[in-house]
Amino acid sequence: MADPNLIKPDAIKDLPTELFIAHLEGTLLREKSFFPYYMLVALEAGGPLRALFLLLMSPLIWVISICISLSFAIQLQAFIATTGLKMSEVRAVAVAVLPKFFLEDLEPAAYRAFLNVSATCGYARCVITSHPKLFVEYFLRTHLRVDVLLASELEVTENGNCTGFFASSRNMISEDKKLQAVDLLRCGDAPRALYALCVKGKQHGAFSQCQETTVVHQSKCGEKVSREEYLSPLVFHDGRLVIRPTPLTSLAIALWMPLGFALAIARMLAGRTLPQELAYPIVSFLGLRLRVRGAPPLLQLDHSQQKGVMYVAVHRTLADPTFVTMALRRKVRGLSFSVSKISEFMTPIHTTRLTRNREEDAKIIKGLLEKEDLCVCPEGTTCREPFLLRFSPLFAELADWVVPVAVDVKMSLFHGTSARGYKFMDGFFLAMNPTPSCEITFLEPICALELRKSGKSAIEIANLVQKQLAGVLGYEITNFKRKDKYFFLAGHDGNVQ
């Protein structure tokens, strides 16, 4: 007999009478295993020791899922990943970290059918999963516009801590309860017609009561949903890992960490202590790949009469000014905003911290331009995705010559930026990648002085530079600012104390 409390009546009472239902893992998501998402929660919300324990338990979890009970294996993973954690921390990871990996794991054929059939026929979208609602709700509501979500509920204490258990036995949507859930959905307060979506060879018995079933063929291996097909663009995301932490990749990352940390120290010491003529070849020997496109400008300036050159770079990592310096083969002072003291100390070039006070920053930049060339990232913060944030126009007010610099950084294991994590570790994680690569493209210099004399405002000049950089990189221009990023990912304005 179906448990009448398995689905809350308020969740479905106002829905249309026709629902298009699909399973999350194994249908909308290509992979049926949810281990990578438990690992991400364990690592980002719980820390490396919790993640290591989950990795050590992964063989046992696999045996339990195959030989004993998949539901018990899910409960064990949820317990290890969430017990004792603040629900707010888990939710923050679900918003800032997990969507990127969910989007990359979407099954293209199932995703397109789920959106197209529901939109064409006017069906409400429904997704069913055995995994915690806290993990998947933001992604499904935002990126798939799901109307009904049937998922397991985690138990939370009065203080807002996760116990690691599901709220009760009836709040766990186990495999044997999926049929009950679908039956309650079909015969609830008002009879509903259910239509199911399945991938060929992965049909689910819980959908046997549905009026019709749409079956799609699994897409080719390696095919992914393009960014243009996303219902909501992914502009910001957080987390340290670049790749999905499956058990094997998690093991590889754990084994690489000691060697990677030693390699990072060696790279930083070489860049910090050796002369420039020796540092760059040695750092290249240690795995850094730097490719330069376009000719660096050969502007011979008489500093008694003219100002220095302002190199305006796209902001991918905190090391962007260092990469520009390497490409130029000469020292250029970097202008930074919110960078930790440790990161400043590790940087091999001279840096000056700005205050974010417009008058004070203008005075600082004006004084520096009288003596030397500068490199600034006017976005004010990093963005990992192919988008450009709004440019601050201050550089266009003060510099006579502006050189746009397109920076494209590729990392294989770790992201060198963080909004929620310890920012003093950003440089270490960037340098811990086995073979980080950076492509620098110098664009034609722009005489900002002449543009200002012709009537162009600083905002127009900044927008011109932004448009040129976006065109070279193939990025999309946005109006998002630094505060938008940090409030979305971390709930604060991003200032480093």
Q: Is the pLDDT of residue 239 over 50?
A: yes
Mean pLDDT along residues 211-218: 84
Tokens of 133: 């609602």
Q: What is the pLDDT of residue 190?
A: 58
Q: Is the pLDDT of residue 285 over 70?
A: yes
User: Could you report the per-residue pLDDT of 415-427, keeping only the tens digit for each?
Assistant: 988 888 788 888 8
Angle at 355 between CA 353 and CA 360, to 5 degrees: 110
Each domain of the chain, given as residue ranges in start order, spans: 9-229, 258-489
| Angle between helix 70-82 and 48-67 (nearest 10) | 170
What's the mean per-residue pLDDT of the chain?
A: 86
- Per-residue pLDDT band for 496 (boundaries 50, 70, 90) equals low
User: Could you report the per-residue pLDDT of 301-315, keeping only the tens digit for each?
Assistant: 444 446 788 999 999
- Per-residue pLDDT band for 493 (boundaries 50, 70, 90) equals low
Residue 26 · residue 207 · CB < 8 Å:
no
* pLDDT over 90 percentage in the chain: 47
Residue 445 · residue 297 · CB < 8 Å:
yes
Tokens of 394: 């201050």
Which residue is listed with tokens 């990189």? 473
- Per-residue pLDDT band for 473 (boundaries 50, 70, 90) equals very high
What class is the 258-489 domain?
A: alpha beta
Nearest to 72 by CA among 3, 176, 174: 174
Residue 197 · residue 20 · CB < 8 Å:
yes
User: Could you report the per-residue pLDDT of 51-100, keeping only the tens digit for each?
Assistant: 999 999 999 999 998 888 888 899 999 999 999 999 999 999 999 999 99
Q: What is the pLDDT of residue 375?
A: 92
Q: Is the pLDDT of residue 172 over 70?
A: no
Nearest to 206 by CA among 224, 185, 231, 228: 185
Residue 150 · residue 125 · CB < 8 Å:
no
- Per-residue pLDDT band for 451 (boundaries 50, 70, 90) equals very high
Q: Is the pLDDT of residue 461 over 70?
A: yes
* Cα 126 to Cα 374: distance, rounded to the nearest angstrom: 54
| Angle between helix 482-489 and 87-96 (nearest 10) | 130
Q: Is the pLDDT of residue 189 over 60?
A: no
- Per-residue pLDDT band for 1 (boundaries 50, 70, 90) equals very low
| Domain range 9-229, its CATH number among 3.40.50.1000, 3.30.300.30, 3.40.50.410, 3.40.50.720 | 3.40.50.1000
Three-class secondary structure assignment of the chain: CCCCCCCCHHHCCCCCCEEEEEECECCCECCCCCHHHHHHHHHHHHCHHHHHHHHHHHHHHHHHHHHCCHHHHHHHHHHHHHCCCEHHHHHHHHHHCHHHHHHHCECHHHHHHHHHHHHHHCCEEEEEEEEEHHHHHHHHHHHCCCCEEEEECEEECCCCEEEEEECCHHHCCCHHHHHHHHHHHHECCCECEEEEEEECCCCCHHHCCCCEEEEECCCCCCCCCCHHHCCCCCCCCCCCECCCCCHHHHHHHHHHHHHHHHHHHHHHHHHHHCCHHHHHHHHHHCCCEEEEECCCCCCCCCCCCCCCEEEEECCCCCCHHHHHHHHHCCCCEEEECCCCHHHHHHCCCCEEECCCCHHHHHHHHHHHHCCCCEEECCCCCCCCCCEECCCCCHHHHHCCEEEEEEEEEECCCECCCCCCCCHHHHHHHHHCCCCCEEEEEECCCEEHHHHHHCCCCHHHHHHHHHHHHHHHHCCEECCCCHHHHHHHHCCCCCCCC
| pTM, full prediction | 0.89
Q: Alpha carbon of 109 to those of 113, 199, 201: distances in Å?
A: 6, 8, 14
Instruction: Provide the 10 A C-beta neighbour count for residue 111.
Output: 26
Query: Can you list the pairs that 224-228 forms with residues at least 24 positions away whose Cβ atoms lie under 8 Å?
Result: 224/104, 224/106, 224/108, 225/103, 225/106, 225/108, 225/111, 225/112, 227/386
* Cα 444 to Cα 402: distance, rounded to the nearest angstrom: 9
Mean pLDDT along residues 466-495: 87
